[in-house]
């Protein structure tokens, strides 16, 4: 009797519950599963956690009786994620290292390594889904397949915001086994499989670096440059350590003078890197109205997962949904212009706290269309110095 060949898949085991459950589910479904831990870079002065995470990943592989590998991508991570992060902050922008970690590490160097080793699929513990669409090619009888990236079932855990750089090539060779479950169900599966990390807490912080104080991290690479904190009237109300260290919407890390026990929390509503100032205001209706309102943004480094979105015309405009922060409520937008390099996105309702350097990701229903990096923010006039 001829043996049915099973599909060979390499699961990126991070040491956490989601990737471990992904591996267990795939094995249960009959895949030929192997696991791999990605060793990334960490500076000497940060607590080293990768060895503990790798040990947890090894325990999972041993429990599931699957081969285990360690893929050292520390050089790639330092070059493409850590250096990018420092470079963007130095330029006054707010980067998104988790997006670049997926682009250059998990679905960059790791994906390429897996394909070169002969694996048919790569799998991760991301909360997302992939859907195949088969269409007939006219006038022939051939078929074409398009892959759509869909939001995870658990809206609170959906991670498509970090996956907008994926291409058709990636989606054709990628599996997201936990994307069709809510987190609580994933936990139950982990316990059902008896995984040794079933009750491990979710990881927090920057991709692979874990929890860290971003300002303390950056001060190892960027010198402090003390400046003043302004209110929305242009009055000096405090001091800070350098405008490049801060991002819009941030509440901590600067000093406000003459505070009282009943003083309202202050949030950064604008920053001027050239003059080294930041502007703050409380989140009260009267003060918030004085904060800059972003009407539209210009995106670069664009990627459309499948088909590019439609551009608005005088006769019609397709309304999409978008977010520029993880777990942010989706907002309505239209595309006012688009080419291969630049896309201009207009908000249906002007938005506050839109930081340059972050990703803006577009959706149509549950489908993640793709997105880009916010290169420019066009705001209403506001005094920043």
CB within 8 A of 339, min separation 6: which ones? none
Which pLDDT does position 383 carry in this prediction?
A: 45
CATH superfamily of 223-288: Adenine nucleotide alpha hydrolases-like domains (2.30.30.280)
CATH C-level class of 8-192: alpha beta
Indicate if 101 belongs to the active site: yes
Q: CA 243, 244, 246, 249 torsion: positive or negative?
A: positive
- Is it true that 223-288 and 294-379 share their CATH fold? no
Which pLDDT does position 135 carry in this prediction?
A: 77
Place of tokens 């604008």: 270
Q: With a cut of 50, which residues of the chain have pLDDT below it?
A: 1-3, 382-385
Per the DSSP assignment, residues forming a β-bridge with 296 are 346, 378
Nearest to 305 by CA among 108, 163, 195: 163
Indicate if 368 belongs to the active site: no
Q: Return phi, psi of residue 259, to 5°.
A: -85, 155
State the pTM of this model.
0.90
Q: Choose the CATH number for 294-379 among 2.40.30.10, 3.40.640.10, 1.10.10.10, 3.90.800.10.
A: 2.40.30.10
Instruction: Tell me the CA end-to-end span of the chain in Å, nearest whole number.
Output: 79
Catalytic-role residue among 48, 101, 343, 368 = 101
Catalytic-role residue among 48, 207, 343, 379 = 207
Retrieve residue 231's tokens.
């209110």
Sequence spans of domains, the chain:
8-192, 223-288, 294-379
Q: Over the chain, what HEC string results?
A: CCCCCCCEEEEECCCCHHHHHHHHHHHHCCCEEEEEEEECCCCCCCCCCHHHHHHHHHHHHHHHCCCEEEEECHHHHHHHHHHHHHHHHHCCCCCCHHHHHHHHHHHHHHHHHHHHCCCCEEECCCCEEEEEEEEECCCCCCEEEEEEEEECCCCCCCCHHHCCCCCHHHHHCEECCCCCCCHHHHHHHHHHCCCCCCCCCCCCCECCCECCCHHHHHCCCCCCCCEEEECCCCCEEEEECCHHHCCCCCCCCCEECCCCCCCCCCEEEEEECCCCEEEEECCCHHHHCCCCCEEEEEEEEEEECCCCCCCCCCCCCCCEEEECCCCCCCEEEEEEEECCCCEEEEEEEEECCCCCCCEEEEEECCEEEEEEEEEEEEECCCCCC
How many CB atoms sit inside 10 A of residue 254's CB?
21
């Amino acid at each position: 009797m001829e043996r049915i060949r099973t599909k060979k898949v390499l699961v990126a085991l991070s040491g956490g519950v989601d990737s471990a459950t992904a591996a267990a589910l795939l094995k249960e479904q009959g895949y030929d599963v192997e696991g791999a831990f990605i060793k990334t870079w960490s500076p000497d002065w940060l607590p080293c956690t990768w060895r503990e995470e790798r040990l947890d990943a090894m325990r999972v592989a041993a429990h599931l009786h699957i081969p285990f590998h360690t893929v050292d991508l520390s050089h790639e991570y330092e070059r493409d994620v850590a250096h990018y992060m420092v470079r963007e902050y130095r330029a006054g922008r707010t980067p998104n290292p988790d997006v670049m970690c997926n682009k250059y590490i998990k679905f960059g160097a790791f994906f390429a390594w897996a394909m070169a080793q002969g694996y048919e699929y790569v799998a991760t513990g991301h909360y997302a889904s992939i859907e195949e669409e088969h269409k007939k090619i006219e006038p022939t009888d051939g078929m074409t397949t398009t892959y759509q990236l869909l939001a995870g079932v658990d809206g609170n855990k959906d991670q498509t915001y970090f996956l907008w750089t994926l291409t058709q090539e990636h989606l054709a060779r990628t599996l997201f086994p936990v994307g069709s479950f809510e987190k609580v169900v994933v936990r139950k599966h982990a316990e059902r499989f008896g995984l040794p990390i079933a009750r491990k807490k979710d990881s927090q912080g920057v991709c692979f670096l874990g929890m860290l104080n971003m300002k303390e991290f950056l001060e190892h690479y960027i010198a402090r440059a003390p400046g003043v904190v302004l209110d929305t009237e242009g009055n000096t109300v405090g001091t800070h350590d350098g405008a490049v260290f801060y991002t819009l919407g941030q509440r901590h890390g600067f000093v406000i003078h003459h505070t009282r026990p009943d003083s309202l929390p202050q949030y950064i509503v604008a920053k001027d890197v050239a003059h080294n100032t930041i502007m703050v205001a409380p989140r009260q209706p009267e003060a918030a109205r004085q904060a800059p309102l972003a009407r539209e943004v210009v995106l670069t480094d664009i990627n459309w997962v499948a088909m590019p979105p439609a551009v608005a015309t005088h006769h019609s405009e397709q309304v999409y949904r978008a977010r520029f922060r993880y777990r942010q409520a989706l907002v309505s937008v239209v595309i006012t212009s688009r080419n291969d390099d630049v896309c201009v996105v207009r908000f249906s309702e002007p938005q506050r706290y839109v930081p340059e350097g972050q990703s803006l990701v577009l959706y149509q229903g549950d489908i993640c269309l793709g997105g880009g990096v916010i290169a420019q923010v066009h705001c209403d006039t506001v005094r920043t110095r």
